[in-house]
Structure 1
């Protein structure tokens, strides 16, 4: 059996969650925020980086109408839970034009940074774990 306390000893841990899933696969859209919230509650620095179709989750109006399962919480609620827990949300700037999302007015207020791929590379190189959805 794994002792959860062993993961709390290192206050320098960083996790990057790479989110490429979006509205076409709603059943994959809640878990990254849920896990991110758990990691953040364990004093882990958590970054979720949205690219490919994942950027659509950060588009105004999309997460508000999306659920991972029928009758479940809306994805925007999972996003807000993650933000309250301290998760940082990054959106891949080069992916935005392909989905016709305006960087200045088309993103939800929960987005922390609009970033280039070089920032993702930096996050990956300095983190302890990368998880991909």
Structure 2
């Protein structure tokens, strides 16, 4: 297995509240990779942008009696993961209603550029 040190890994997340069982895995995977010294960016796109709204990830669970998705987001941030969300064209974003773990609001063009530049791209 190759070393992840200094590798830039992009994880694109599209799952959101309609598929809660899929929402924790991207952040868990990002945490593991960051702990292995990879530079990890998680990009929320599509329905996943809802996870960046205050209260959504706090009340979303991948499994019954498990930790909230927000817990997994916080673990990822503690491990050094960068968290971005997509700005949908024409959609007004109330930045006061976004979780503090969010690092940046980015465009689809920025996502496309990252896909071309990063060492590995995962969709989870």
Q: Which runs of 4+ in 1 moved over 3 A?
A: none
The aligned residue for residue 117 of structure 2 is 126
The aligned residue for residue 55 of structure 1 is 49
Identify the match of residue 105 of structure 1 among 67, 85, 96: 96
TM-score computed with the length of structure 1 as normaliser = 0.87
Question: For structure 1, which runs of at least 5 residues remain unmatched after alignment?
Answer: none
Larger radius of gyration: 1
Identify the match of residue 78 of structure 1 among 69, 72, 87: 72
Aligned equivalents of 1:51 and 1:64: distance in 2?
A: 19
Spell out, residue by residue over 1:54-76, the C-alpha distance to the aligned partner (whole angstroms, 9 max, x if none).
00011111001110000100111
Q: How well do the aligned residues superpose, as a CA RMSD in angstroms? A: 1.5
Aligned equivalents of 2:70 and 2:96: distance in 1?
A: 17
The count of aligned residue pairs is 124
Aligned equivalents of 2:7 and 2:90: distance in 1?
A: 30
TM-score computed with the length of structure 2 as normaliser = 0.93
Aligned equivalents of 1:129 and 1:95: distance in 2?
A: 26
CA contact (8 A) 1:55 1:96 kept: no
**SS at structure 2 position matched to 1:23:** coil
C-alpha displacement of 1:96? 8.3
